[in-house]
Amino acid sequence: MNAPIDTRFVAAEFVAIADAAVCLANGGLVAFPTETVYGLGADATRAEAVAGIYGAKDRPKFNPLIAHVANLDAARREGVFDASALRLAEAFWPGPLTLVVPASATCSVSDLARAGLGSVGLRVPAHPIAAALLRRVARPVAAPSANRSGRVSPTLAAHVLVDLDGRSDAVVDGGPARVGVESTILACLGNGVHVLRPGGIPRDAIEALIGPLATETAEDGKLLASGQPLISGQPLPPGQPLAPGMLASHYAPRARLRLNVEVVEPGEAVLLFGGHRPAGLERSGPRLDLSPDGSLVEAAASLFAALRSLDASGAATIAVSPIPTSGLGEAINDRLERAAAGR
């Protein structure tokens, strides 16, 4: 027998992740699980790779993408962290938080991924598969939610296939996303900390760390109108939303949504919460309770899958029970309002 050699024991998952990393490094598109929703990833440093994301999603080009990195050190090579950005990153990373900070002089995230802005959106995801992939690729990975633009975000690999089969080189299946709503996006651009999008880290957890937040949304033009330097010293072009992804109708099922419903119309599909029994339920179409026990954590995790499933029933309208606005309820209500907008 030959002299014994070092036999590597390699988990099957590792092979899949190594394979996905090679695909990304070659400029391909890989959909992968994060703790919030599945992302459609590409090498953020290469404009051609990033262009593939916009193409696969049919996404308007003015929408900047979040650059995902393995850890805070990697993030600090891409962006400039002031004291509050640093505290937030140290407290909530890895986790469902995105920080929009001024791009650093060494920022490698392509202009296309940043939509030409002087800032960069950075996130260190907490999913073990995402973390392993990012460590392996060792460069920022641009990843919007892995759905076609304007559709409901995917919380299962099967959802990704519905929208992106034939459009992404690979989909890494990591089971259901634990959090279920996208990351909270905070802007730390030197004039206070602003919420650009409510999400997986509730407001009260953030305020417990750094004190009261200022809230500015796309609809709230105050900051923009103030002409203050928002993005690395450059005011945004007039009319450009602060977080451009926050267009009013963003998370849209095909069916019309009716919110805070106390009386269900005959045949409507119904999205319930906490065992709520609106009047008319006996004549309704299919119904789902996001959390019979009234847990907002459970409701966030099941929200997008429930919307997809009720939408697939073919009902013209989905009636939605009132959902509390505390904790993760802010992000849940935000997504429902967007899904209901303009329909």
Q: In this structure, what token pair is assigned to residue 293?
A: 């026990």
Smallest separation (angstroms) from ligand TXA to the CB of 294: 24
In sequence order, what are the beta bridge partners of 319? 258, 270
Does position 110 interact with ligand TXA (CB under 6 A)? The reply is no
60-89: which residues touch ligand TXA (CB under 6 A)?
A: 63-66
Q: Considering all CA atoms of the chain, what is the largest pairwise distance in Å, rounded to the nearest integer?
A: 79
Smallest separation (angstroms) from ligand TXA to the CB of 101: 8
120 binds, among Mg ion, ligand TXA, none (CB under 5 to 8 A by kind): ligand TXA
Alpha-carbon torsion 247, 221, 331, 37, what sign?
A: positive
Smallest separation (angstroms) from ligand TXA to the CB of 61: 12
171-230: which residues touch ligand TXA (CB under 6 A)?
A: 182-183, 185, 196-197
Residues 143-182 as x/- pattern, contact with Mg ion by CB under 5 A = --x-------------------------------------
244 binds, among Mg ion, ligand TXA, none (CB under 5 to 8 A by kind): ligand TXA
Closest CA to 75 of 44, 34, 115: 44
> Dihedrals φ, ψ of 31, to 5°?
-85, 135
Smallest separation (angstroms) from ligand TXA to the CB of 117: 5
Yes or no: say if 290 and 302 are a contact pair by the CB < 8 Å rule: yes
Does position 341 interact with ligand TXA (CB under 6 A)? The reply is no
Map tokens 């992804």 to a residue: 245
Half-sphere exposure of 18 (CA within 13 A, CB side): 6
Residue 279, judged by CB atoms within 10 A of its CB (0-12, 13-18, 19+), counts as exposed
Residue among 36 and 321 whose Cβ is closer to ligand TXA: 36
252 binds, among ligand TXA, Mg ion, none (CB under 5 to 8 A by kind): none
Residue nearest ligand TXA (C-beta atom) = 245
**DSSP string of 270-337?**
EEE-TT---BTGGG-S-EEES-TT--HHHHHHHHHHHHHHHHHTT-SEEEE-----STTHHHHHHHHH
Binding site for ligand TXA (CB under 6 A): 34, 36-37, 39, 63-66, 96, 98, 100, 114, 117, 119-121, 123, 125, 143-145, 182-183, 185, 196-197, 243-246
Binding site for Mg ion (CB under 5 A): 145
